[in-house]
């Protein structure tokens, strides 16, 4: 990225996902010059990915490539390991190689699932990863593939993503709270619900500050809001807030029941501690991150009936 230009010309992969859609919303100083969904560029098609992406980038001249595409079906990944690795591990390495050959940086998203979730302290970027699932292992392999290329990159680990678009926990809870008499929600997994808008806004701010491929600030960062909650605490806050805003909530507060993970068996193991320290990001870029409830409130405002 040249020092004379702060306008981000973004080639965006995964345009139809939650984070991809957020990048296409209005962001100051950002021009998404190409937003590619799976129908335009299937990153799982490894035989053609490199050549097709290079040709596209040569034609449109982006100054950053953002990879918001991922295989995110955590439980299904246990049975589709090769597909998960193709998309989450091998494709990022190809994308990073194209970006490096073009001399442009890459933004890549990763996950709290690279950690095993032991303890209660927030994980920092230099803590040793130890993923519990195929999904987590494939995302960690993707991080390492990007790093191995050696080009300028931002790898952003995040947690519990939600947004206006797509399917997510927030929208599922809202739907069920309007029809169910009781909800049973896991209360022994703790993390920070993260809005897709934050995952687009913050890296765009980071990129505005980084002007040269040799800048020492490229690397791995944790990006999520401040504060932590359990899935149960998240559901309770969300449903209470939605009721205040006039949603037709049928569910009583006392009918949102906290349960242990063992009472809700799933194929892939989840970390109990998904706390991520964002101190490195906040100090390096002087960016203040909001409390997780702010993002929840903002999405509710957009989704609110009649809004």
Question: Do residues 259 and 185 lie in contact, with contact meaning Cβ atoms separated by under 8 Å?
Answer: yes
Question: Has residue 4 got a pLDDT over 70?
Answer: no
Question: Has residue 34 got a pLDDT over 90?
Answer: no
Percent of the chain surpassing pLDDT 70? 96
Question: Has residue 173 got a pLDDT over 70?
Answer: yes
Identify the burial level of 120 via C-beta atoms within 10 angstroms of its C-beta, where 0-12 means exposed, 13-18 middle and 19 or more buried.
Answer: exposed
Identify the burial level of 163 via C-beta atoms within 10 angstroms of its C-beta, where 0-12 means exposed, 13-18 middle and 19 or more buried.
Answer: buried
- Helix 196-209 crosses helix 292-303 at what angle (to 10 degrees)? 120
Distance CA 67, CA 20 (A): 8
The CA-CA-CA angle for residues 176, 178, 183, to 5°, reads 40
How far is residue 71 from each of residues 7, 67, 144, 209, measured CA to CA in Å? Answer: 30, 12, 17, 30
Predicted TM-score (pTM) of this structure: 0.93
The CA-CA-CA angle for residues 20, 26, 27, to 5°, reads 85
Q: Annotated catalytic, 234?
A: no
Q: Are strands 229-230 and 190-191 parallel, antiparallel or unpaired?
A: antiparallel
Domain coordinates in residue numbering, the chain? 8-166+194-226+275-289
Distance CA 239, CA 169 (A): 12
- Tens digit of pLDDT for each residue in 52-70? 999 999 999 999 999 999 9
99, two tokens: 């970006």
- Tens digit of pLDDT for each residue in 66-97? 999 999 999 999 999 999 999 999 999 999 99
Q: Which pLDDT value is given to residue 1?
A: 45
Question: By 3-state DSSP, what share of the chain in percent is helix, strand and coil, each rounded to 5?
Answer: 40, 20, 40
Q: What is the mean pLDDT of residues 47-53?
A: 94
Q: What is the DSSP letter of 288?
A: P
302, two tokens: 């957009």
Q: Which of 85, 113, 135, 228 is the catalytic position?
A: 135
Question: Do residues 195 and 291 lie in contact, with contact meaning Cβ atoms separated by under 8 Å?
Answer: no
How far is residue 224 from each of residues 121, 240, 282, measured CA to CA in Å? Answer: 15, 22, 11
- Tens digit of pLDDT for each residue in 271-292? 999 999 999 999 999 999 999 9
Kindly report the average pLDDT of the chain as a whole number.
Answer: 92
Distance CA 221, CA 10 (A): 20
Domain spanning 8-166+194-226+275-289: CATH 3.40.50.720: yes
Question: Do residues 276 and 224 lie in contact, with contact meaning Cβ atoms separated by under 8 Å?
Answer: yes
Tally of CB atoms within 10 A around 38: 16
The CA-CA-CA angle for residues 224, 225, 227, to 5°, reads 120
Q: Which pLDDT value is given to residue 306?
A: 39
Question: Has residue 6 got a pLDDT over 90?
Answer: no
Q: Does 27 or 225 have the greater pLDDT score?
A: 225
**Nearest one of 168, 288, 137 to 231, comparing CA atoms:** 168
**Nearest one of 68, 88, 163, 168 to 133, comparing CA atoms:** 88
The CA-CA-CA angle for residues 224, 230, 235, to 5°, reads 100
Question: Has residue 130 got a pLDDT over 70?
Answer: yes
């Amino acid at each position: 990225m040249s020092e004379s230009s702060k306008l981000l010309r973004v080639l965006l992969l995964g345009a139809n996902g939650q984070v991809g859609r957020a990048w296409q919303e209005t962001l100051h100083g950002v021009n998404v010059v190409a937003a590619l969904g799976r129908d335009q560029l299937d990153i799982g098609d490894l035989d053609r990915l490199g050549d097709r992406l290079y040709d596209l980038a040569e034609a449109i001249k982006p100054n950053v490539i953002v990879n918001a595409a991922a295989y995110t079906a955590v439980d299904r990944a246990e049975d589709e390991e090769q597909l998960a690795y193709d998309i989450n591990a091998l494709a990022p390495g190809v994308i990073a190689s194209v970006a490096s050959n073009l001399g442009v940086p890459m933004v890549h998203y990763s996950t709290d699932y690279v950690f095993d979730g032991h303890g209660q302290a927030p994980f920092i970027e230099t803590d040793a990863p130890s993923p519990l699932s195929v999904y987590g292992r494939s995302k960690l392999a993707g991080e390492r593939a990007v790093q191995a290329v050696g080009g300028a990159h931002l790898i952003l680990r995040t947690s519990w993503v939600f947004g206006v678009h797509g399917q997510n926990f927030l929208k599922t809870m809202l739907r069920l709270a309007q029809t169910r008499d009781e909800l049973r929600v896991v209360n022994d997994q703790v993390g920070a619900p993260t809005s897709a808008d934050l995952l687009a806004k913050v890296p765009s701010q980071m990129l505005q500050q980084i002007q040269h491929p040799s800048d020492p600030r490229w690397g791995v960062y944790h990006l999520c809001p401040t504060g932590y909650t359990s899935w149960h605490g998240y559901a309770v806050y969300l449903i209470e807030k939605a009721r205040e805003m006039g949603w037709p909530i049928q569910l009583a507060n006392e009918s949102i029941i906290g349960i242990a993970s063992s009472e809700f068996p799933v194929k892939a193991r989840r970390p109990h501690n998904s706390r991520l320290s964002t101190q490195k990001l906040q100090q390096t870029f002087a960016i203040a991150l909001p409390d997780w409830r702010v993002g929840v409130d903002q999405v509710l405002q957009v989704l609110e009936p009649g809004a």
